[in-house]
């Protein structure tokens, strides 16, 4: 075991996967996680500091002599955690506030794409309700309306008709439901969606295996949008040529455009992409690891995780990451009622009998009992040479977990199996 001290910021399944990958590094001696969760506590020391309490996190990192901080959530990046840590001489893996605008401002992201020829849906942005509504009515439905700013995943509305568009635009532009802001209206695209995450240091771009998330709550991709109900790697509908195109025409161009704009990336760039009949296009960029994609991607890393984070944080060339040739499959167990209202505090047992890796998303230890404490509670991830084997292993793990208040989707990766 090495002697490096790492602080991971965040407390969900994504951070559990980051902590798990770091725990396999020969350089890492001690991992802290703020605030962490009950599963993370098995691998790291959880510290009760909120992920957006930048002053508190900085004071902790200075006091403990933390060698490297790794940031999960976008809110901390948007608030300038990387800027503040760097100004204090602390090493941190995560973009500056200026660079994280590629996620937090839809209009900024669209401008970066337009200036560098990155394929994406055509769009216009509006601040005036009447102008926005008139434009939407002059175009074919469905209309895609995106609130420009962080809206906790609720900022995108696909309006099927005039009435839905009017209601959504009213929320966004007249009633200030999300705060003052703009709306980006864009063309509706079709095709399978997938996620391509890369470690990016300025113009250097290192791809991770691609993954597909399942955003809808129920089987058959029905029901409300969620933070993600499952994910898997190995996408049969994406060819090597598609991947090459996505790397050169999208991810590399984005990195170069951000460097040219004076806000170089330094962290993870997440491409939310769609394979449309007109080719691969960007749905959105995120300035961080995806959740739940990270839980299926990072278990495949064979390189030293610490070395990659450190190289990117310091602007040094990293070794090309090495990935296992296996594929992964992950199923999210969520509280009944999620993404609407749900109850917390249900006891969970049987986790020790589950094979593969069980990432905790929203759990808490109370008087020695493991309990649910969030909408998405756990994710069972299995690794195998084929997707079918990984699926069978992951659902076998799910069957071991006992809790009265959880549900999960039984059709994760249906697009791959139907292909």
Q: Pick what 228 binds: ligand GLY, ligand AMP, none; C-beta below 5 to 8 Å, kind-dependent.
A: ligand GLY
Q: Which stretch binds ligand GLY (CB under 6 A): 28-36, 64-72, 243-251, 283-291?
A: 283-291
Q: Give whichever of 34 and 145 is closer to ligand AMP, judged by the CB atom.
A: 145
Q: Least distance to ligand GLY from the beta carbon of 195, Å?
A: 6
Q: Give whichever of 20 and 213 is closer to ligand GLY, judged by the CB atom.
A: 213
Exposed/middle/buried for residue 130 (C-beta within 10 Å: 0-12, 13-18, 19+): exposed
Q: Pick what 247 binds: ligand AMP, ligand GLY, none; C-beta below 5 to 8 Å, kind-dependent.
A: none
The two most distant CA atoms of the chain are separated, in Å, by 63
Q: Least distance to ligand AMP from the beta carbon of 237, Å?
A: 15
Q: Pick what 84 binds: ligand AMP, ligand GLY, none; C-beta below 5 to 8 Å, kind-dependent.
A: none
Q: Pick what 19 binds: ligand AMP, ligand GLY, none; C-beta below 5 to 8 Å, kind-dependent.
A: none
Exposed/middle/buried for residue 118 (C-beta within 10 Å: 0-12, 13-18, 19+): buried
Instruction: Decide: is 193 part of the binding site for ligand AMP (CB under 6 A).
Output: yes
Mask: binding to ligand AMP, 200-239, rule CB under 6 A, as x and -? ---------------x------------------------
The alpha carbon of residue 110 and the mean position of all alpha carbons in its chain are separated, in whole angstroms, by 19
Q: Which stretch binds ligand AMP (CB under 6 A): 77-85, 183-191, 200-208, 330-338?
A: 183-191
Q: Which stretch binds ligand GLY (CB under 6 A): 34-42, 169-177, 182-190, 286-294?
A: 286-294
Q: Which stretch binds ligand GLY (CB under 6 A): 29-37, 290-298, 397-405, 410-418?
A: 290-298
Instruction: Decide: is 185 part of the binding site for ligand AMP (CB under 6 A).
Output: no
Q: Give whichever of 7 and 379 is closer to ligand GLY, judged by the CB atom.
A: 379
Q: Which stretch binds ligand AMP (CB under 6 A): 109-117, 187-195, 250-258, 355-363?
A: 187-195
Q: Confirm if 338 and 217 have CB atoms less than 8 A apart.
A: yes
The alpha carbon of residue 390 and the mean position of all alpha carbons in its chain are separated, in whole angstroms, by 22
Q: Give whichever of 34 and 189 is closer to ligand AMP, judged by the CB atom.
A: 189
Q: Least distance to ligand AMP from the beta carbon of 192, Å?
A: 10
Instruction: Decide: is 179 part of the binding site for ligand AMP (CB under 6 A).
Output: no
Of 201, 293, 295, 304, the one binding ligand GLY (CB under 6 A) is 293
Residue 270 CB partners (closer than 8 Å, separation 6+): 103, 195, 196, 197, 285, 286, 287, 288, 289, 290, 293
Distance CA 414, CA 220 (A): 8
Q: Confirm if 232 and 390 have CB atoms less than 8 A apart.
A: yes
Instruction: Decide: is 186 part of the binding site for ligand AMP (CB under 6 A).
Output: yes
Instruction: Decide: is 228 part of the binding site for ligand GLY (CB under 6 A).
Output: yes
Q: Least distance to ligand GLY from the beta carbon of 336, Å?
A: 22
Q: Pick what 156 binds: ligand AMP, ligand GLY, none; C-beta below 5 to 8 Å, kind-dependent.
A: ligand AMP
Q: Least distance to ligand AMP from the beta carbon of 216, Å?
A: 9
Instruction: Decide: is 340 part of the binding site for ligand AMP (CB under 6 A).
Output: no
Residue 61 CB partners (closer than 8 Å, separation 6+): 7, 69, 85, 90
Q: Least distance to ligand AMP from the beta carbon of 345, Å?
A: 29
Q: Which of residues 117-146 bind ligand AMP (CB under 6 A)?
A: 121, 144
Of 286, 328, 363, 372, the one binding ligand GLY (CB under 6 A) is 286
Of 137, 179, 188, 279, the one binding ligand AMP (CB under 6 A) is 188
Applying CB under 6 A, the residues found at the interface with ligand GLY are 213, 228, 286, 290-291, 293
Applying CB under 6 A, the residues found at the interface with ligand AMP are 121, 144, 153, 156, 158, 186, 188-189, 193, 215, 272, 283-284
């Amino acid at each position: 075991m090495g002697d490096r001290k790492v602080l991971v910021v965040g407390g969900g399944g994504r951070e559990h996967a980051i902590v798990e990958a770091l725990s396999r590094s020969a350089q890492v001696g001690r991992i802290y996680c703020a605030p962490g969760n009950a599963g993370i506590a098995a691998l790291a020391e959880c510290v009760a500091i909120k992920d957006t309490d930048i002053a508190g996190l900085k004071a902790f990192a200075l006091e403990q002599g933390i060698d490297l901080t790794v940031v999960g959530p976008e809110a901390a990046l948007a608030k300038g955690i990387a800027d503040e840590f760097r100004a204090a001489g602390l090493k941190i893996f995560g973009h500056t506030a200026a660079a994280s605008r590629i996620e937090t401002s839809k209009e900024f992201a669209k401008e970066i794409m337009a200036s560098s020829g990155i394929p994406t849906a055509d769009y216009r942005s509006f601040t005036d309700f009447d102008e926005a509504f008139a434009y939407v009515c002059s175009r074919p439905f469905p209309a895609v309306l995106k609130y420009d700013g962080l809206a906790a995943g609720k900022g995108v509305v696909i309006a099927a008709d005039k009435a839905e568009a009017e209601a959504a635009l009213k929320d966004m532009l007249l009633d200030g439901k999300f705060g003052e802001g703009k709306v980006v209206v864009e063309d509706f695209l079709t095709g399978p969606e997938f996620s391509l995450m890369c470690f990016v240091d300025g113009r250097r771009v290192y791809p991770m295996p691609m993954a597909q998330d399942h955003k809808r709550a129920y089987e058959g991709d029905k029901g409300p949008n969620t933070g993600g109900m499952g994910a898997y790697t190995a996408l049969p509908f994406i060819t090597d040529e598609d991947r090459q195109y996505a790397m050169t025409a999208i991810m590399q161009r984005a990195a170069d455009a951000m460097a040219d704009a004076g806000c170089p990336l330094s962290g993870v760039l997440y491409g939310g992409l769609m394979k449309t009949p007109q080719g691969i296009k960007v749905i959105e960029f995120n300035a961080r690891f995806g959740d739940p994609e990270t839980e299926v991607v990072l278990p495949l890393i064979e390189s030293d995780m610490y070395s990659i984070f450190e190289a990117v944080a310091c602007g040094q060339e990293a070794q090309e990451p090495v990935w296992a040739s296996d594929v992964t499959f992950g199923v999210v167990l969520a509280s009944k009622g999620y993404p609407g209202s749900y109850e917390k505090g249900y006891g969970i047992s049987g986790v020790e009998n589950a094979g593969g890796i069980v990432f905790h998303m929203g759990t808490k230890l109370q008087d020695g009992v493991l309990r649910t404490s969030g909408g998405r509670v756990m994710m069972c991830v299995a690794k195998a040479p084929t997707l079918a084997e990984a699926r069978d292993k992951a659902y076998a793990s799910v069957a071991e977990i006992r809790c009265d208040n959880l549900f999960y989707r039984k059709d994760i990766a249906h697009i791959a199996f139907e292909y």
